Amino acid sequence: MRISMTAIKHALQRDIFTPNDERLLSIVNVCKAGKKKKNCFLCATVTTERPVQVKVVKVKKSDKGDFYKRQMAWELRDLMEVDAKDANKENPEFDLHFEKVYRWVASSTAEKNSFISCIWKLNQRYLRKKVEFVNVSPQLLEELPKAEESVPSGESQSVAGGDEDALDDYQELNAREEQDIEGMMEVCEYAISNAEAFAEKLSRELQVLDGANIQSIMASEKQVNILMQLLDQALAEVDTIEGKLLSYEEMLQSVKDQMDQISHSNRLIQISNTNNGKLLDEIQFLVNYMDLSKGHIKALQEGDLSSPKGIEACINASEALSQCMNVELKPGHDKLMAVKQQQHLFSELRDTFARRLTNHLNNVFVHQFNHFSHFKMTIPQFYRSSCLSLPGHDQSSTLAQHTADLTLPKHSPLHRDLLRYAKLMEWLKNTQREKYEGLSRTYVDYMTRLYEREIKDFFEVAKIKMAGTSKDGKGKFGKTSKKSRFPNLSLSLMLAFLTGLQPRFLGKRAHSNRKLRVKEKGLHGSSGKLTGSTSSLNKLAVSSSNSRRSQSSSLLDMGNMSASDLDVADRTRFDKIFEQVLSELEPLCLAEQDFISKFFKLQQNATLAQGEHVDDADGTTPSRPVSEHRLSISEKDMVRMMMNKIFQSIETELNTLIALGDKIDSFNSLYMLVKMSHHVWTAENVDPASYLSTTLGNVLVTVKRNFDKCISCQIRQMEEVKISKKSKVGILAFVTGFEEFAKLAEAIFRNAERRGDLDKAYIKLIRAVFNNVEKVANESQKTPRDVVMMENFHHIFSTLSSLKISCLEAERKEAKQKYTDHLQSYVIYSLGQPLEKLNHFFEGVEARVAQGVREEEVSYQLAFNKQELRKVIKEYPGKEVKKGLDNLYKKVDKHLCEEENLLQVVWHSMQDEFIRQYKHFEGLINRCYPGSGITMEFTIKDMLEYFSSIAQSH
């Protein structure tokens, strides 16, 4: 059986494991426990290559032949437990615990123990005792030699292969050994048939060889003794050499100790040098960054903040101080006494200089405010002093001279002086925030009072010029002589303005001259009436203009061409004044906002609006586009708050001025809408978030509201129009008024940004005109409805065609259609009168034909026979027709108005219609009375001559 298992082991090694570079170390014949016996082999193998892999392989003999096949393999590292079932009794059963438990029964207990022992040894060598062995006899788990345990698995080929005898007594024969065994077996014929005799023979030969070996060893004893003597001599020499080596070692140890001392000293010296270098660096750092020169200290304590050189020195000193205070100290520096002293010095210098700078800038603000306010006198004060001290003529001329220039004072000198301190303000902002904010509030307070006074004076002048120019122009309609009645026009207008008179209408009332003389005399006689402020003048202007609005501000009054021309001139002057106001405010606000941003350092890069200039500290005038996006949110809010505070009166004054302009003439809202829209658009292009853009946008809403109110007022006045029952209607006043409004609006809104607002107003107005023309036509008693509709829609069509307003193209076509329809209706209605009986006769003929009577049988009808036809025709000879046409011409002339000049158009249309009727009557005669020889008493040629002669005679 042993030889049989050896042969099987040899066959498995050759056929299965050698091709896979594996060596078979142990084998056991097993079958699964509790099942029908199907024998197989469990093999323990290791790989020949590094790293070594240990496996347990299940091999099964094929059913169809004598060869073996590999069925399953497990890594030994996956083996968790080996259970031998019983350590004291012989039991062939054992379990292997991999991912699941495999239960086996060995063919013999000896094979089982040999296999488990091999597994234990492989576990000891390669897995470091990872596998747990249960119920295994202690004799099987013998310890490996220490030399083997100390060698890690896979370290050397000799260890991996040299222990195979310990794992198993089997070793594969090499080729030479196989040849020797085969030769020996050939010599002995019974080597195969009688293995025991062959083994005994081999044993005897081995004993012979052992005896020969012993004899050979005994014969070589003399050589061994000689060898031992040589070894003794060598050991003596070794002892001598060891003594010398010990002395050398002692000498080297002394040298080593000395070198260690030298090395230690060098290391201490190096550490000392390193520490000294670091200390020098720290001292150099503190000296370089924590030292402030005496010149800078003097500039901070005593520097002149009024001279350019002193300011420059203070700026340099403040920057140096900031660098010293903001230096990043290393850990521990703040504990040094010198550093603490320097920091205390820097804090004192900072507080001292911040206090000096704050006091100086406060004084500068006060000085500049007093300087700009010293020579400014408000309009009411000037007017009061001039009226009290000067004669009447000199008073008016001086006032006119004072109000001639509508300008705002320029603050560029103030800005230029203060911008020299911009860098110092930035330093103050970064170091002393409270003082910086206090200066900001101080500046805002002073500038608020200064601007409020200047803006109030400016708007008072604008209001006087606005009201004065309106009355100046409208006074030209007075019937009295300007030279005889008013020795000075400006004074008379101002007096009229103060007393609420209407100079434009002085000549339209019989008693107006007498009232003006009384008022003028009373004013010249009492100086107390001239001491009111301009705000009272404004109230008087507003109240006095209320009585004029219905005459100068509606579409109903625009029919008067001379008055309209004068209104346009007045409105043009108003437009110039309003534009001047906005043009003065815009650069003022932009310059102030730019100055605030620069002076108070509320943006990263100081920039200016395109086209605007503000003198810098060095006298240059840089101009760059505003970079609004560089402002942070908080800084933008701060700029906006400061601007709102400084210019808090602008929006109120603008709204008051707009209200005054609207009171003077509601059509001024057109000019204001265009101008305000343009300035809002310009401001938004410069800076959408600027104060100017926001304020003008708010005011634009008010202007737009006034514009809408103006349009609604015009529509309401159209609806309230009443016509006279005794006179013909003609062209309605609001129709001609719409024409003048459209011409005025087109002139104003040329190249305007808000054209859409006007287009919407056009639609509202034209629809109101259409509706009210039809309403008036329906209510007209003196003039036929068709005539009212025809004339007015012809006028509307002509107006829209000449103006070419694109948004009213549909209304233009509608007006033309209405004009054409009502012209045709009026012509047909009028022509029925001269040939009335003839018309009725042929209407009856057509009625009979329509009822089914054949045309050639109509003559047999009693009421429409030939005799009746001749009778009716004889009633209209040429003379009677001409007379009837002449009466018709007079009637039409009486219906039509002279302004539209449609008489010849209507007369020509009547001629065409009369000819059409004549041809129609002739056709009916030829079809209904064939062969009768009946014809009209006049021909088409006669009829053309009638129409021509009548038209020429009139």
pLDDT in tens, 462-490: 888 887 654 444 433 233 333 333 333 33
Q: So what's the pLDDT on residue 547?
A: 36
Lowest model confidence (mean pLDDT) among 52-56, 326-330, 479-483: 479-483
Predicted confidence (pLDDT) at residue 724 exceeds the cutoff of 60:
yes
Contacts of 624 (CB under 8 A, 6+ apart): 607, 608, 610
Copy the structure tokens of residue 763. 């639609």
Find residue 46's DSSP bridge partners. 23, 54
pLDDT category at 96 given cuts 50, 70, 90 is very high
pLDDT at 504 over 50: no
pLDDT for the residue numbered 498: 35
Q: Are residues 726 and 697 in the same domain?
A: no
Most confident of 12-26, 522-536, 622-636, 912-926: 12-26
Q: Is residue 228 part of a domain?
A: no
pLDDT confidence tier of residue 561, bands split at 50, 70 and 90:
very low
Across the beta sheet with 93-97, the strand order is 68-75, 54-61, 40-47, 22-32, 101-106, 93-97, 81-83, 132-134
- pLDDT above 70 (res 166): no
Cβ-count burial 1-23 (b if 16+ within 10 Å, e if not) = eeeebeebbeebbeebbeeeebb
What pLDDT, on the 0 to 100 scale, is given for residue 462? 87
- Read off the pLDDT of each residue in 630-639 and give the average, rounded to a whole number: 66
SS3 letters for 617-685?
Answer: CCCCCCCCCCCHHHCCHHHHHHHHHHHHHHCCCHHHHHHHHHHHHHHHCCCHHHHHHHHHHHHHHHHHH
Can you give the pLDDT at residue 262?
A: 92
Same-domain pairing of 575 and 677? yes
Strand partners, 75: 55
Q: Is residue 530 in some structural domain?
A: no
What residues have CB less than 8 Å from 297, skipping those under 6 apart?
A: 317, 349
């529509």: which residue's tokens? 715
Give the percent of the chain with pLDDT over 90: 10
Omega cis (within 30) before 331: no
Task: Tell me, yes or no, whether 667 and 731 share the same domain.
Answer: no
pLDDT of residue 834: 58
Residue 574 falls inside a structural domain = yes
Token pair of 90 as six digits: 């012989």
The domain boundary residue, chosen from 763, 793, 823: 823
- Interhelix angle 785-803/733-748, nearest 10 degrees: 10
Query: Are β-strands 132-134 and 81-83 bridged in parallel, bridged antiparallel, or unpaired?
Result: parallel
User: What average pLDDT does range 610-634 have in this prediction?
Assistant: 42
Q: DSSP character for 132?
A: E
State mean pLDDT over 292-314.
Answer: 88
Query: How many whole angstroms separate alpha carbon 848 and alpha carbon 113?
Result: 144
> How many C-beta atoms surround the C-beta of residue 425 within 10 A?
21
CB neighbours (10 Å) of residue 159?
16
* Segment 812-832 mean pLDDT: 81
**So what's the pLDDT on residue 45?**
94
Least Cα distance to 841 among 816, 859, 815, 817 occurs for 859
Out of 246-250, 558-562, 947-951, give the one with best mean pLDDT. 246-250
**Confidence category of residue 556, pLDDT binned at 50, 70, 90:** low
Task: Reply yes or no on whether the pLDDT at 899 is more than 80.
Answer: no
- Of the two residues 400 and 857, the one the predictor is more confident about is 857
* pLDDT value at residue 373: 65
Query: Which residues does residue 102 pair with via DSSP β-bridges, in sequence order?
Result: 96
**Residue 160 domain-assigned?**
no
Top-confidence residue, 684 or 767: 767
Write down the pLDDT at residue 509. Answer: 32
pLDDT for residue 411:
85
pLDDT of residue 401 exceeding 80, the answer is no
pLDDT at 282: 82
Least confident of 157-171, 498-512, 737-751, 820-834: 498-512
Q: What integer is the mean pLDDT of 64-92?
A: 86
Assess whether 682 and 740 both reside in one domain: no
Query: What pLDDT sits at residue 833?
Result: 54
Please report, rounded to a whole number, the percentage of residues in the chain having pLDDT higher than 70.
Answer: 76
290-294, 496-500, 749-753, 884-888: range with lowest mean pLDDT: 496-500
pLDDT in tens, 742-780: 888 888 888 777 788 888 888 999 998 899 888 888 887
Residue 544 has pLDDT above 60, yes or no: no
Based on the fold, state whether residues 451 and 585 are members of the same structural domain. yes
Q: Angle CA(120)–CA(122)–CA(128) in degrees, nearest 5?
A: 85
Residue-number span of the structural domain to which 330 is assigned? 296-381
* Whether residue 577 is found in the same domain as residue 446: yes
Number of domains forming the structure of the chain: 5
Both 69 and 109 in one domain: the answer is yes
**Could you tell me where the DSSP H helices lie in 290-421?**
294-302, 308-325, 337-374, 379-389, 392-402, 412-419
Residues 590 and 731 occupy one common structural domain: no
Please state the separation of Cα 447 from the chain's center in Å: 35
Q: Is residue 665 part of a domain?
A: yes
In a domain, 833, yes or no: no
Amino acid 927: pLDDT: 86
What pLDDT, on the 0 to 100 scale, is given for residue 118?
92
Q: How far apart are CA 450 and CA 444, in angstroms?
A: 10
Residue 929 has pLDDT above 80, yes or no: yes
Give the pLDDT score at 189: 67
| Least reliable range by pLDDT among 4-8, 131-135, 659-663 | 4-8
Alpha carbon distance 675, 827 (integer Å): 49
* 320 and 370 inside one domain: yes
One domain for residues 874 and 726: no
Confidence of residue 407 (pLDDT cuts 50, 70, 90): confident
Q: Among 348, 381, 414, which residue terminates a domain?
A: 381
Residue 15 has pLDDT above 80, yes or no: yes
Average pLDDT over residues 348-366: 89
Query: Who has greater pLDDT, 539 or 896?
Result: 896
* CA nearest to 645, candidates 441, 372, 453: 441
Tell which wins on pLDDT, 880 or 46.
46
Same structural domain for residues 754 and 653?
Answer: no
Cβ neighbours around 438 below 10 Å, total: 14
C-alpha span between 198 and 3 (Å, rounded): 15
**pLDDT tens per residue, range 194-227:** 777 778 888 888 888 888 888 777 777 778 888 8
Mean pLDDT over residues 147-165, rounded? 39
Residue 265 lies in a domain: no
pLDDT score recorded for residue 838: 80
691-716 tens-digit pLDDT: 888 888 888 888 888 888 888 888 88
CA neighbours closer than 13 Å in the CB half-sphere of residue 773: 30
147 class by beta-carbon count within 10 Å (0-12 exposed, 13-18 middle, 19+ buried): exposed
Residues paired with 850 in a beta bridge: none
Lowest-pLDDT range of 12-16, 541-545, 581-585 = 541-545
All residues at 6 or more sequence positions from 60 whose CB lies less than 8 Å from its CB, including other chains: 38, 40, 41, 68, 69, 71
- Residue 550 domain-assigned? no
Mean pLDDT of the chain: 75
Mean pLDDT of 452-462: 88
Which of 91-105, 137-151, 278-292, 544-558 is predicted most confidently? Answer: 91-105
Residues 769 and 697 in one domain: no
**Residues 731, 897: contact at Cβ < 8 Å?**
yes
The whole-number average pLDDT for the span 9-33 is: 89
Of the residues 140, 175, 207, the one at which a domain ends: 140
Structure-token pair, residue 492: 């008379």
> How many helices (H) and strands (E) in the chain?
35, 8
Of the given ranges (76-90, 185-199, 212-226, 287-301), which has the lowest mean pLDDT?
A: 185-199
pLDDT above 90 for 245: yes
Which of 297-311, 516-530, 862-876 is most confident? Answer: 297-311
